[in-house]
Structure 1
Amino acid sequence: METSGNKMKKRYSIFYALSAVALGGILLADFGVIYTLVVTPPEDPATVMKLVYLIMMAGFLVLAAQAVLVFSRLISRLGQERRTVETLQQELDQVSFLDGLTKVYNRYKFESVIKRELENVRRYANPVSGIMFDVDNFKALNEEHGYATGDKLLANMARFVSTKLRNTDYVFRWRGGKFIILAPHADVDKAAIIAEKLRQMVGHKLFGGKIRMSLSMGVVQGREDDNMETFLHRMQSALTRAKHQGRNCVVVARD
């Protein structure tokens, strides 16, 4: 089944071929009239010259039609190439900012988002909270079920968590089984509620139909004097405390 683009290309080819044939016929007719005028001069040369001019004007019209066809085809091709470039750029942006395994945002995207959100904290007092969480005993899961299964579990868990968040929240894979959630316009208490709900939902779900996973989570709220490094350090500290408290729990760092 032909696409609309192929049909349009065929139409252009047919129209251009017809115009080329018409132009050739006009040139031959013009040459024939002029040749006749030179070899056997007519009794009324003015009338014959008018005919020559008319044939020439017809030729110019055909040339103009060809130019319009070529120009419109060029514009169409440029439009198609522009759309192709835009599509490729969107795909490149996704590849640049998405984690290849889990399809959530990667740490490069985190750097740009956290800088913007912390600036909003300083300028507009808009709260932003962060949740750093880690899959408990992820190394043991890999060793027991194999790294391929571990990768699938991690991807399924990341996708599950993403579906449980608000549209304004972000999920980033940090490294290994460690992730970060950024919750703009959420103070530390609201973020703590989000974290606890996620911990419970993940803990009750069977991934792959048979494997349970648990999360240790650390929650902090961005401060006016925070930069990316201090914000990350406080999240990591809260997560470490959750690990030391026996895992599968939420620790909220309140300044």
Structure 2
Amino acid sequence: ICMGLYARRHVIELERMKVELRGVATTDSLTGAYNRMKFEEIIDIEIERAKRFTHPLSLLMFDIDEFKRVNDTHGHGVGDEVLKEFAGIAKAHTRKINHLVRWGGDEFIIVPVETPLKGAAILSDRLRQAIETHDFGKVGKISASFGVAQYNEGDTKETLLKRLDDALYNAKNGGGNKVEMIR
């Protein structure tokens, strides 16, 4: 009986550790957003769903305008706090079924499940406004630029991400603090 109880406790502890490790492997430790590895899994599933069920699939890519200046002026510790708040605002303004991913540095992607391009652009603008009006403490006000792209028949993950990156680039090049869409 004692061995059975010990074995059961051991199995329960191993399962708990497995769940914890899965979270560590797929989540950005600073912001709590998913990481790129998890994004790869998510986007493959969402592209398959879009193909199979003809659901719309759009993506948002966004980053903080002139984030380097935040780090250079206030230090990386303050920059990290800004990133945490930034991600928190994004989480607060998206549905629970959507996926927030830290793409790298200050770049994030949102996968708004079953959302057409126009809906993704509306979400982007709401989020842009929420960021623009938020007080980031020592840093004060910041702004963000957004690129939005939709999955089109025949797209690969790479072609979709290229258009998404191009849309963000256009927003940044157009002065920042704006949303740019590419079909």
TM-score (norm. length: structure 1): 0.70
Q: Residue 39 of structure 2 corresponds to which residue in structure 1?
A: 110
Q: Match of 1:178?
A: 107
- Structure 1 residues without counterparts, runs of 5 or longer: 1-71
Partner of 2:124: 195
Bigger RCO (CA 8 Å, 6+ sep): 2
Amino acid at match of 2:71: N
Alpha-carbon distance in 1 for matches of 2:44, 2:178? 28
Query: Which residue of the other structure, out of 56, 64, 75, is the alignment partner of 1:135?
Result: 64
Instruction: Judge conservation of contact 1:118–1:128 (CA < 8 Å) in 2.
Output: yes
SS in 2 for 1:133: strand
Q: Is structure 2 residue 158 aligned with structure 1 residue 224?
A: no
Q: CA separation in 2, counterparts of 1:84 and 1:123?
A: 39
Instruction: Return the offset for 1:222.
Output: 1.2
In structure 2, C-alpha distance between the alignment counterparts of 1:142 and 1:226, rounded to whole Å: 37
Where 1:200 maps in the other structure, the secondary structure is: helix
User: Does residue 103 of structure 2 align to residue 167 of structure 1?
Assistant: no
Contact 2:89 2:130 in 1 (8 A): no
Distance (whole Å) between structure 1 residues aligned to residue 96 and residue 59 of structure 2: 15
Which stretches in structure 2 are left out of the alignment for 5+ residues?
none
Q: TM-score, normalised by structure 2?
A: 0.96
The share of aligned pairs that are identical, in percent, is 36
What residue in structure 2 maps to residue 205 of structure 1? 134
Q: Alpha-carbon deviation of 1:213?
A: 1.5
Partners of 1:210 and 1:245 in 2: how far apart? 23
Q: What SS is found at the alignment partner of 2:126?
A: helix
Q: State whether structure 2 residue 59 is matched by structure 1 residue 156.
A: no
SS at match of 1:179: strand
How large is the RMSD of aligned CA atoms in angstroms? 1.1
Q: Which has the higher helix share?
A: 1
Deviation at 1:224, TM superposition (A): 2.4
Distance (Å, rounded) in 2 between the aligned partners of 1:209 and 1:191: 31
Instruction: List per-residue Cα deviations over 1:71-102 (Å, max 9, x = no partner).
Output: x2122111111110111001100100001211
Paired residues, what number?
183
